[in-house]
Amino acid sequence: MTSSVLSIAGLDPSGGAGVAADLKMATAMGSYSMAALTTVTVQHPGDVSRVAPLPAAMVSEQVKTLLQTMPIGAIKIGMIGSTEIADVLISTLQDCAMPIVLDPVQSSTSGSTLGHIDRPVFDRLIAMATIVTPNSGELQYLLNDAPPGRWAIDNSVAILHTGGHAPGNTIHDVLWLPNGTHRRWSHPRVETRNTHGTGCTLSTALAVGLAQGLDISEAVEQAVQFTVKLIERSATDNMVADNGPLLHFKLNE
């Protein structure tokens, strides 16, 4: 049976991040992809000039319709856009049995804020996730000084710390599981400015792996490998001067 993934995220009109990147990555991995839109943005890879969240009821209706009519193997949640949208997602997804990957995105690579969510509501949404995929800045906000291994156990949610924002020539991606174990994947940093949409791509690849029946550790390993491959294969194809998008169609070349 074909695996399928639902992306709940925002629109990047340039196609490099958000639902566009999610749909491309899932398709490149051989999974059927669906999208429920949370926000519309005005942006290009170098800047986000406007973020317009959709009405929360519209987001909820999109998701409910897909849950009622389509087979969904996993859900990826990216840019949410507002507290109201986060709140309706909590009620809409509360009875879902499929794994949920939450990318707790707060800002774009260019540094633009992508919408505020009240912390108590955000924490309730996190509690529903199977795994969260923060970068270094998002990890600090998420944990609030708690050790990541302890946080994963206490919240029964796995954490994948994506290490691309940390300094150094080697990137370390670290997974902490609620059972108290952890794994690390290390790989050389690719010298490139073409990394727009990397976080979206990685979290979607992880959701696809879970939809395909892999366990969390296996899905993370596959997602890291595929994302690194895409960064390598997109490194020298400069679609724009800086922060160029990953080229998902190159995954299977």
Polymer length in residues for the chain: 253
Round to whole Å and give the CA distance between 204 and 234: 18
pLDDT of 253: 86
CATH number for the domain whose boundaries are 4-250: 3.40.1190.20
Question: Structure tokens of 114?
Answer: 């992508």
DSSP 169: S
pLDDT of 144: 87
Do the beta carbons of residue 189 and residue 198 sit within 8 Å? no
Helix axes 198-211, 216-234, angle to 10 degrees: 140
Round to whole Å and give the CA distance between 209 and 221: 9
DSSP 238: -
Pairing mode, strands 47-53 and 32-44: antiparallel
Round to whole Å and give the CA distance between 118 and 44: 27
pLDDT of 70: 97
Give the mean pLDDT per block of 10 residues along the chain (253 residues). Answer: 94 95 97 97 87 96 98 97 96 96 75 73 96 92 92 97 82 96 95 92 98 98 97 91 92 91
Type of residue at 27: T
What residues form DSSP beta bridges with 176?
159, 182
Round to whole Å and give the CA distance between 29 and 250: 11
pLDDT of 110: 47
Domain assignments of the chain as residue spans, ordered by start:
4-250
pLDDT of 109: 54
pLDDT of 129: 98
Do the beta carbons of residue 230 and residue 197 sit within 8 Å? no
